[in-house]
Amino acid sequence: MTPRQRSLRRVLLTLVVLLAAALCGAGQAQTTSGGGSQPGSFATAVRKSGGDLDLRSAGRFLRDYFAGHVLLGPEAIATSSPSVTTGTTPLPSPNTQVNDPALDNIQVFPSFAPFLHYTQSETTVAAAGQNIVVSYNNSAGVTLARTPKAGFPPPKGPGPGLVFTRVQFSGYSVSNDGGRTWTSGYVPAAPGVGPLTFGDGVVVVDRRGNFYYSSLGVTADGHGAVVVNVSTDGGRTFGAGLIAGVDDGSDKSWIAVGPDPNKPDRDNVYVTWTSFSPTGSAVAFAVSTDGGQTFQSKIIFAPGPDPDPTHPQNFIQFTNPVVDRSNGRLYIPFAHFSNSNTDFLQMLVSDDAGQTFRFSNFNIPGALDPTLVPLVQPGTLEDCGNGGLRLAIVQGNNIGGGQFGLPRFVQSSRLTVQPALAVENGNVSLAYNGSDSPFFGDPSSGSNIFLLRSTDGGQTWIGPQQVNPIVAGEPRHVYPAIAIGSGGSQVDVSYYTQHADGTVDLDLSSGLGKATRVTSQSFDLVPSNIPIPTHKLPFQTTNFDRIIVPCYDLGEYVGLFNNNGNVYAVWGDNRNQVTEPINPHDPISGQTHAQPDVFFQQVTPRE
């Protein structure tokens, strides 16, 4: 093992211990071991600014903690998880909350800080006619109980005396009346697993109105997996999880559906994900030609290290596949990291249903090679304690005390550079967020949304061009989602705008330099990076929702979909409030603060 690998291993093992402590609460840490996914055996952080920037998603953090452990008693395992609950939410005006608030719950156990299961965020949306399905991460699907009666397996829970009875993080809401009313639920896990799903959900729809939902999960024998659920009844129910790929290193899955290039009457289902290994990460790929019932998987790109730190290195993340419905061409953009200030986007293209791939040439002036789109990741580099070193949008004052002298903000939301792609009739549009500073992690930087466009299937490109207008008091624009009309000419991009006071709105641009405000009110970030130091863990922090990794709030993407001219936007939104129970173990006891939900709006773009 090289010195760098030993260093990465030490950092990762520390993060595992810190995560366990976050789940346990201050002074309640309990370490566990078992088969299946072992996060210490994977390199999941890229070297940046002298530290290791963790690339794992919130769902991957959860699975690293749970996978391979006997978590549930036999009674829970034998109980099939419900696909849909009975709760619905009415239509407020002008934005609609799609997740059922009645599912949120608070659990209080003696000697523990309260468990507030109140996080819904990280959204996508797909629609066919009047049927609309929204995917999101949902901590309300996680429940705990006192240690079961004698005869149950040894409990693995967040501290002595508690056991997890359910971990359904892959949530969704469905409307069958065009968005007027909504019903919320959780997709089932793979057979034999019990209620164990880990989010990073994405939903798409085929030409026949069947919905496909991909997310992180586990196999019956405890290995990490990428799982696909299929709905054939307009999203009302989803079938049991189908394994697209067994991969202990899997993270950040995404899904696409579209016609086979050689059999245009058949829709293929494509799933991509990041596959972490001991030496880096790779683009993993799976294809189904039978409606998602069976998959064939493989690694399609595994970059190696480069001695020049400014060059692309051995880490990729954030794939986003899309199929052109006119010819079946498959596009897979992703982020490719360096060890310096500038990182990159690249895109793989296949004309034979994923049998072979080539790189798209963007020919950006000054880029290292024609396949690379250079960018500086947006956000402030901060110490997120148990969540590792992260780039984030932040609100409030720097409370200090971070590792390596890094700042800390209680109100933080992690940022990523996942590209957003839309394709129609050879018109290809790629959106991404980038810093306006040449320096990685610059706390004084702003950020903007950029768009690359091609009208010839990716042979030539226009841009990058800035999408968002320049407005005083709006320094940051992050997390683009993109939708394209059936003719290919109308391109809409939604994104978060953060104001100078730290509050956030969702905006939408249908032309360069023009924006429509989607949110009916601005909202604050939640307290997601609360210090709870101990003698052994002086940098320990917790999210107000203690099942969720610190610095996780708005999720890692938002959703946008063009349904025959009707543009649907979905996003994580913190306008609602929750009051913490009075509790001596709670560092924010009695406080009222923002909490994350998922909202929907049908948008009429400004011409």
Q: Residue 450's beta-bridge partner residues?
A: 432, 466
Inter-residue contact 235 to 133 (CB < 8 Å): yes
Record the tokens describing residue 380, joined without a space. 């402030």
Record the tokens describing residue 114, joined without a space. 């309260």
Q: Which residue has the tokens 């690998």?
A: 5
Dihedral of alpha carbons 302, 61, 292, 123, sign: negative
Is residue 405 classed exposed, middle or buried when 0-12, 13-18 and 19+ CB atoms within 10 A define those classes? exposed
φ and ψ of 173, to 5 deg: -130, 145
- Using alpha carbons, select from 231, 88, 65 the residue that is nearest to residue 142: 65
- Using alpha carbons, select from 331, 535, 502, 344 the residue that is nearest to residue 423: 331
Q: Mean pLDDT, consecutive 10-residue segments, the chain of 607 residues?
A: 40 31 30 32 81 84 59 38 38 80 95 95 97 98 77 53 86 97 96 91 97 96 94 97 96 97 96 96 98 96 96 97 97 98 98 98 96 97 93 96 93 96 96 96 94 96 94 94 86 96 95 89 97 90 94 97 94 98 96 98 70
Cβ neighbours for 602, distance < 8 A, ≥ 6 positions apart? 179, 566, 567, 568, 569
In this structure, CATH architecture of domain 3-603: 6 Propeller (2.120)
Cβ neighbours for 10, distance < 8 A, ≥ 6 positions apart? none
Q: What is the CA radius of gyration of the chain?
A: 22
Inter-residue contact 284 to 316 (CB < 8 Å): no
Inter-residue contact 414 to 384 (CB < 8 Å): yes
The CA–CA distances, whole Å, from 348 to 267, 316, 337 equal 20, 13, 16
- The sheet with strand 250-259 has its strands ordered as 250-259, 267-277, 280-288, 296-301
Residue 63's H or E segment, with its range, is: helix 58-66
Record the tokens describing residue 352, joined without a space. 């034979």
Inter-residue contact 337 to 312 (CB < 8 Å): yes
- Using alpha carbons, select from 297, 259, 310, 305 the residue that is nearest to residue 280: 305
Record the tokens describing residue 174, joined without a space. 């469905």
Q: What is the pLDDT of residue 159?
A: 58
| 10: helix, strand or coil | helix
DSSP-assigned letters across all residues of 242-254: EEEEE-TTEEEEE
Cα–Cα dist 89/575, whole Å:
16
Inter-residue contact 273 to 255 (CB < 8 Å): no
Inter-residue contact 515 to 468 (CB < 8 Å): yes
